[in-house]
Structure 1
Amino acid sequence: MWLKASCMFEFHASVPTPFILMLRPRSGEQQWISREDYVLSPSVPAVEFTDSFGNLCQRLVAPVGRFSLRTLVHVETADYSDIAPGAPFIAVPQLPDETLPFLLPSRYCDSDHFTEMAASIAMGYAPGYDQCAAIVDYIRRTIEYTPGHGQETISASEVNGQGHGVCRDMAHLGIACCRALCIPARMVVGYLEGLYPMDLHAWFEAYVGDRWYTFDPTQTDLQGGRVAIAFGRDATDVAIYTQFGVPIELLSMEVQVEQVPKPNY
């Protein structure tokens, strides 16, 4: 399918404010970026770099007063994420080097606290994809999805204890449990067609059967086009924007995703 996805942020800065933005999705195996608009108002110099996870990042200094950024992409993407029941567990010595950082505990994915729980959830399931699916089922049964109510980022342990969370929190819990089973898992932030209420979305991917597969505890299935913007160990690595210094006021934010006909260009 073809999607048009856009977001708009408007800020007010009391002093010149350094930013790192992460709003440019890359073309990859399951998505092709055919058109992109990126507008800063007022226009300021920006420098782009690629972080250690391959994400496209932009550095700039927002001026005093109102500052907005608008992005729009046309993307060809799958209308249903791949699934692979039975895809096998890959032993750590056989894992590609680039997956190894996603085995370790991180700030919000304290996987070292989930060794026993993850083993209990996965008991009786074939090692690999089926264990990841069992973890997702556990999260859906035990954690209430409460979109719009998670301003503070918390750890997987805290999510598991409080029993409710936003998409980011549920992804953290899934990642922590997978890593506790020595399955590489990473966080993804991006767009999801049909999400309600519409917002940027977070899910996770696990490395089984020699590739990354999508898992999303907030959705009953994997139908709907996804556009991945950024990948990382947890929410720390995939912040859509990071500002430094005096806190800046976010005046408004708008996200839109819609299916469109194949472009003629």
Structure 2
Amino acid sequence: MQLNAGCELTFDVQSPTPLVLMLRPRSGAGQWIIREEYQITPAVNVTEFTDLYGNLCQRVLAPEGPFSIHFSATVQTADLIDVSPGAPYTPVQELPDDVLHYTLPSRYCQSDQLGDLAEQITDGVEPGYDQAEAIRKWIHTNIKYEYGTSDASTSAVDTASKRVGVCRDFTHLGISLCRSLNIPARMVVGYLYQLDPMDLHAWFEAYVDGRWFTFDATQEQPRGNRITVAYGRDAADVAFTTQFGPMQLNEMKVWVDLAQPDMNESEKKAEKAPTVSASVGSNQQTDGVV
């Protein structure tokens, strides 16, 4: 399916502020970037680099005053995601070097503190894909999805205790529980077609049987038509904006629609996503995944 997706962010900048942006998806497994448009107002110099996780990042210096970022793309997406019940666990000694670090605890994913819960959830379940799916299902069933119940400091341990959160919290918990079983897991952020309410989204991937599989604890059933923007250990690695100075996010709009000849029609349908003053990364980051 071809989708038009994008976001628009508007800021007030108190003084010239360096920014790192992470808004451009790249072609890869399950997606092909057909067209993209990136507009920054007022115009500034932009340099781009690829981070440690393969994400496309842009560096800019935002001038004082009103500042806006508009990104839109047309993307060919996979209608289905791969599922593989019974796929075996990959022993740690067989993991590729670039996957091994996804077994370790990270800032918001304290997998070393959640082993007992992971064992309870997966008791009697075959190691590998079925364990990751049991974790996804348990989170979907036992964690309540509710806006405004978490903030920039909320971790997987907090979510396991409070049993409430939003997609980033569901994702951190899923990652942590998988890692506690020595299953590599990573955070993914991007867009999901027909997400309700519309917003930027987060889910996790687990590495079993020698490859990555998608798991989304906010959804009842596996769903395709996803556009991946970034991968990381947790939300600290995948913030859509990271600022190094005083600036305020005023508004964020997000849209995902079936591809149409006139992109403006898609943008007219953009829903206003909740404005967040901070991400789960730090008080200088915005991930929009709330």
TM-score by length of 1: 0.96
What pairs up with 1:206-225 in 2 under 5 angstroms? 206-225=206-225
RMSD (Å) for aligned C-alpha atoms: 1.4
What's the CA shift string for 1:216-240, capped at 9, x where partnerless?
A: 0101112241000000000000000
Q: Counterparts of 2:71 and 2:50 in 1: how far apart (Å)? A: 18
Corresponding position of 2:287: none
Q: Once the 2 structures are TM-superposed, how far is the Cα of residue 261 of structure 1 from its aligned partner?
A: 6.0
Letter in 2 for 1:106: S
Aligned counterpart, 1:164: 164
In the other structure, the counterpart of 1:146 is 146
Aligned counterpart, 1:24? 24
Partner residue, 2:42: 42
**CA-CA distance at 1:119 after TM superposition:** 1.4
Equivalent residue number for residue 251 of structure 2: 252
- Whether 1:128 aligns to 2:122 is no
For 1:197, the equivalent position in structure 2 comes to 197
CA distance in 2, matches of 1:155, 1:144: 15
Partner of residue 81, structure 2: 81
Aligned-partner Cα distance in 1 for 2:181–2:57: 31
Deviations 1:11-39 (A, max 9, x none): 00010011000001011111111111001
Q: What is the CA distance between 1:116 and its match in structure 2?
A: 1.6
How does the TM-score come out when normalised to structure 2?
0.88
**In structure 2, what is the equivalent of residue 177 of structure 1?**
177
Percent identity of paired positions between Structure 1 and Structure 2: 52
Separation of aligned partners in 2, 1:256 and 1:66: 22
Say which is worse superposed, 221-230 or 210-219, in terms of deviation.
221-230
Q: Work out the CA distance in 2 between the residues paired with 1:211 and 1:159.
A: 28
> How many angstroms apart in 2 are the aligned matches of 1:176 and 1:257?
29
Number of paired residues? 262
Shift in Å, 1:81: 1.3
CA drift of 1:125 comes to 0.9
Contact 1:36 1:71 in 2 (8 A): yes
Structure of greater relative contact order (alpha carbons < 8 Å, 6+ residues apart): 1
Task: Report the AA paired with residue 192 of structure 2.
Answer: L
CA shift, 1:148, in A, is 5.5
1:114 counterpart letter in structure 2: L
Whole-Å separation in 2 of the counterparts to 1:178 and 1:31: 25
